[in-house]
Structure 1
Amino acid sequence: MWPVFWTVVRTYAPYVTFPVAFVVGAVGYHLEWFIRGKDPQPVEEEKSISERREDRKLDELLGKDHTQVAGMRL
């Protein structure tokens, strides 16, 4: 009897798991919105890593005196 049961479960698993996953996802989605509240707060855009790097390099350049050049050693 067990081999027949496992064959049926394996055969019809996609038809059972999708509705169950859909219901669990929908309940979780609505539960999250219930806990958070109705009005989502706007998310401030965060600068990317490359933008932060460029800003840091510009700040370093602003702090230097570009009229002073290192001399060559022979």
Structure 2
Amino acid sequence: MWPLIFTALRTYAPYITFPVALVAGAVGYHLEWFIRGTPQKITEEQSIVEKREERVLQEAAGRDLTQITSLKEKKEFTPKAVLNRNRPEKS
């Protein structure tokens, strides 16, 4: 008799466990909202990119953007080539 009961339980387990899980989930969901209270309005924060763009615009507001230094004046603009570091310099 026990083998028949275990076979029936194994065969019909999805039909039994699904409604039980559905009821337990619904009760848990409503219980959580009852304990937590009404949901509060979520305010959206600015993304990191938006914050950076705003900061750059604020920094650029006080200076003249037409006056820039030329690349020829910047001596440290281009680093020495990596491949030429170990070669002795020709004089």
**TM-score between the two structures when normalised by the length of structure 2:** 0.54
1-10 or 25-34, larger mean C-alpha shift: 1-10
Among residues 59, 70, 78, which one is paired with 1:63 in the alignment?
59
Cα displacement (A) at 1:58: 4.0
The answer to whether the aligner puts 1:40 opposite 2:39 as a matched pair is: yes
Cα displacement (A) at 1:61: 4.8
**TM-score between the two structures when normalised by the length of structure 1:** 0.63
Aligned partners of 2:28 and 2:4: how far apart in 1? Answer: 34
The answer to whether the aligner puts 1:14 opposite 2:14 as a matched pair is: yes
Long gaps (5+) in structure 1: none
Aligned partners of 1:26 and 1:19: how far apart in 2? Answer: 11
Among residues 25, 49, 53, which one is paired with 1:53 in the alignment?
49
Aligned partners of 1:22 and 1:3: how far apart in 2? Answer: 28
Q: CA RMSD in A?
A: 2.7
| DSSP-derived class of the 1:7 partner | helix
Q: What percent identity do the matched residue pairs reach? A: 51
Cα displacement (A) at 1:2: 5.3
- The superposition leaves residues 37-61 of structure 1 with CA deviations (integer Å, 9 ceiling, x where unpaired) of 2x332111233xxx43133134235
